[in-house]
Amino acid sequence: MNPEPRMHLSITHDTRYRYSPSVQTAQHVAHLQPAHTPCQKVVSHVIWIEPQATVVHHIDAFLNHRAYWALTHPHDGLTVRAHSEIITKPLPPGSSKQSWESVREHFRYRGGHAGDVHSGYVFGSHHAPVNEAFVAYAQSSFPPGRPLQQAAQELTARMHRDFHYETASTDINTPALEALQNKRGVCQDFAHILVACLRSLGLPARYVSGYLLTQPPPGQPRLVGSDASHAWASVYVPELASHASQGWLDLDPTNDRCGLASPGEDYVRLAVGRDFADVSPLRGVLQGGGSHTLEVAVTVAPLGI
């Protein structure tokens, strides 16, 4: 019997802020620690912070690892390095014939009846709102009676064909409706659009942040710090709730990749939420520091098993 295919990945995520003038006090929250999932095991994780601070770890409402720290003295910069080692593996195959309409009806509100625990992912959020424009775009992939799993994968593939990946064409404040209209953006735009399309059809969808192992050109070395964090979407299929994926089908329109609980063994899930606002890698509340510069470097590299 062939051994189960696995990947052992090393991930280093560096963030550097420089402030002018100095920040007097600050409080920060980070989502930089991957979680154990059905298809990934966290071998190790460590976070370094300069200036030094006491880090408090929590599990948030979406079961993500969240780190918090406060800086109570003046500082003109902040450096955060998160390093993780992850082993990923594929899950057993699984498929569902459950129609998308039956899933929509499953999540329709009924007074006096208990709701599904995943019902919160049906409602619009700031970066992934419910809007008829998303219905209009998605509808051709969702004809009557089509299985949700098949329809969602077809929509993912169609977005991959229709949308142009263009670095720096958008930022986190670009509305998903604008990115849909222009049909260009980056991975977080495509993830928000896909989540918004699914929610606008009454389906539960969540935003996923993480990493993707990229391959350097043939004959070229892997460059340190040249990778970036990644984002994709996930839709819940109740018929697959007993599967190892716990019912979640992951969808990456940037690369046209789909899979139960993960688009593939070369992906690492960092955090999940309603949209980017729930899973921002690093955010803070500052006193002082009128302007700042930001540098982010990510390296994802394979290790021997």
Indicate the pairing of strand 164-165 with strand 184-185.
parallel
In angstroms, the CA 212 to CA 231 distance is 9
DSSP string covering 37-74:
BTTEEEEEEEEEEES----EEEE-TTS-EEEEEEE-S-
Contact 157, 138 (CB under 8 A): no
Identify the pLDDT of residue 214. 86
Backbone angles phi, psi at 280, to 5 degrees: -50, 130
Q: Report pLDDT for 217.
A: 67
Tokens of 157: 């593939």
**pLDDT for residue 110:** 76
Query: Closest Cα partner for 15 from 63, 83, 62?
Result: 83
pLDDT of residue 218: 72
Encoding tokens for residue 27?
A: 């409080």
The pair of structure tokens assigned to 60 is 């948030």
**Which residue intervals of the chain are DSSP H helices?**
100-106, 132-138, 148-162, 176-182, 187-200, 276-279
Which two structure tokens, joined as six digits, stand for 116?
């599904």
Look at residue 1 in the predicted model and tell me its pLDDT. 42
What is the predicted pLDDT for the residue at 148? 98
Instruction: Please give the Cα distance from 189 to 178 (Å, whole number).
Output: 10
- Measured distance CA(141)–CA(158) in Å, rounded: 9
Can you give 167-209 as a three-state secondary structure string?
Answer: CCCCCCCCCHHHHHHHCEECHHHHHHHHHHHHHHCCCCEEEEE
The Cα 166–Cα 184 span in angstroms is 6
Name the 3-class secondary structure at 285.
Answer: strand
Please report the pLDDT score of residue 4 as a whole number: 59
pLDDT in tens, the chain (305 residues): 445 568 999 999 999 999 999 999 999 999 999 999 999 999 999 999 999 999 999 999 999 999 999 999 999 999 999 999 999 999 999 999 999 999 999 998 877 777 789 999 999 999 999 999 999 999 999 999 999 999 999 999 999 999 999 988 888 889 999 999 999 999 999 999 999 999 999 999 999 999 999 877 677 666 555 578 999 999 999 999 999 999 999 999 999 999 999 999 999 999 999 999 999 999 999 998 888 999 999 999 998 75
